[in-house]
Chains A and B, each alone.
Chain A
């Protein structure tokens, strides 16, 4: 259920970005969700719908790109893809790593209309 918190943080960034780019309507939101952040797509979708209701983002499509995890072994430097429940290095069999990828949630892009485009649409 941390998806709800993620969705409201996401909403703040969407509104900020929309304002900066003079968007009056947002139609698609693209995010990258690292595997280690444990975002459940269906739950994220529901949370997203809850926070966008009644805003310029209402009705927008949420595109979630799942990002696999990547780790670097701190003993031997090997870079590998860990499983959620297994961070053992394939070379030295130790779970002592630095996470390179998969531990972040990133707002990647917004697609929408600025005032000009919206006017064109209506006429």
Chain B
């Protein structure tokens, strides 16, 4: 016999993601899903971002990696709380893994919850974690053809960070080409040219983060009110 169903296969993940989003909102946290290839500078970005947000704004970090706790160790000195999620075989995080981590955390201690996803340009895009925004990193050494090669993740982006912009001079990278490819996918997505090493773009990035938090959560400051 044939049974007709019509069921969203990823429904279970989507339901948990929606719950996570609610938890973030109630705790006054902006959830940020950070996605890129391995080595684009996700952890370095967090190492620079979190201390610069302090002391007015504090952060919690969840790091997904196949193996090791190295990235968690790197951000631990700055973050209020860090959870390393080892995904083993899986090339992306699930909403469920985030939900489990949330139960261990004092969410009221922070304003931002950064999720460093597993280094991968395809799979993390398919799994909603409940984040408020998706931030995609593309580093200059990866080449200027990557937006065209991985269009889906760039279409889903709320922010594109062109990282390691300090290497623009030594590499043959056509910025115009990247911008053109992006405009075919995502008319309104903001793009920031960043160097975590040289500090370029950092102010703009922090401004955007705060603006997004205000949009999602409202303008309540948990700690010292910034001037």
Contacts and interface: CB of A to CB of B under 8 A. Distances in A.
A, B in one complex: yes
Interface of A: 1-2, 4-6, 9-10, 12-13, 17, 21, 23, 31, 36-38, 84-88, 94-96, 104-114, 117
Chain B binding site: helix, strand, loop or mixed by DSSP?
A: mixed
Nearest to A21: B3
A107 to B, nearest CB: 5
A22 B192 CA distance: 55
A1 B126 CA distance: 11
B185 A13 contact: no
A16 B106 CA distance: 36
Contacts of B3: 17, 21, 23, 109-112
Interface residues of B, number: 34
Contacts of B186: 87, 95
Contacts of B90: 4-5
Contacts of A5: 90, 92, 94, 123, 126-127
A31 B9 contact: yes
B8 A106 contact: yes
B217 interface: no
Question: Taking each of B8, B13, B148, which has the highest tally of chain A beta carbons within 10 Å of its own beta carbon?
Answer: B8
Contact of A113 (B1, B7, B12, B151): B1
